[in-house]
Amino acid sequence: MDAVMDDAVMDDAVAPSLEVSGLAFAYPDGQQALFGVDFTVARGERVALLGPNGAGKTTLVLHLNGILTAGAGTVTVAGLPVGKRHMAEIRRRVGIVFQDPDDQLFMPTVREDVAFGPAAAGMKGAELEQRVRTALESVGMVDFADRPPHHLSFGQRRRVAVATVLAMEPEILVLDEPSSNLDPASRRELADILRSLDVTVLMVTHDLPYALELCPRALILSEGVIAADGKTGELLSDDALMRAHRLELPFGFDPRSVTMGA
């Protein structure tokens, strides 16, 4: 009982959304993917995770909700250590939105997809209905609740995928390449949604202008370690840093010319 109370004390408003300390991991074939990753994300921050292919970004993300188990180091979500003891709660608190929304949408209707997680956790009746409605309102998809997901556009399906995660009321929303395959209007609509959410965001992306638009802070993961951590605009404006870690801005895009909003 005391141990449970200790966790409750740790899990309060002062605990960061995410703390990663000394995280190292090697796959069974001996390939070392992470060599000691350290960073902290405060509650309410929007942080971009940048890096070239093979840097270890996916491996890192899979540690955040216990899909992979650290070889060394720790991951803590809102004061709770990621491990078997707290796994159900950790997976509620860390909501991952995959790059392909079709990996998350499998029910006959949008409403049923969004209800699936809370219902599996035991929620039902009016409480479940309100949770689903709130999540769909957050992404502007209430009017599509009774539509089959496969009848929606790709951008709409991505918004529903976000809603399926928001329905669990996560501590941190992890987005894997959220702008990929979106047309300009859908890209902007998703950006507006993400800015409106009262949730911590960790966005894994190769879309550097999108990272600059949405995330005041960025981490560069390179060769299994955090190579840089700072203001997104400053990191993207550092030509030597960008070259060293094989990051390239779109032709003609100058981050120095962009005026950032909130």
Q: Over the stretch 69-123, which tens digit does the pLDDT of each residue have?
A: 999 999 999 999 999 899 999 999 999 999 999 999 999 999 999 999 999 999 9
Residue 258 lies in a domain: no
In a domain, 261, yes or no: no
119-87-16-223 Cα dihedral, nearest 10 degrees: -120
pLDDT digits (tens, 9 = 90+) for 15-54: 899 999 999 999 999 999 999 999 999 999 999 999 999 8
pLDDT reading at 227 higher than 80: yes
Domain assignment present for residue 46? The answer is yes
Residue 237 maps to a domain = yes
The token pair at 21 is 């300390």
Q: What is the pLDDT of residue 13?
A: 57
pLDDT at 257: 81
* Sheet with 18-26, side-by-side order of all strands: 32-41, 18-26, 72-77, 80-81
Counting the structural domains of the chain, the total is: 1
Q: pTM of the full predicted structure?
A: 0.90
Evaluate whether residue 141 is within a structural domain.
yes
255 part of a folded domain? no
Identity of residue 238 = D
Parent domain of 181: 2-250
The domain that holds 19 is classified in CATH as: 3.40.50.300
Give the confidence band of 2 by pLDDT, cuts at 50, 70, 90.
Answer: very low
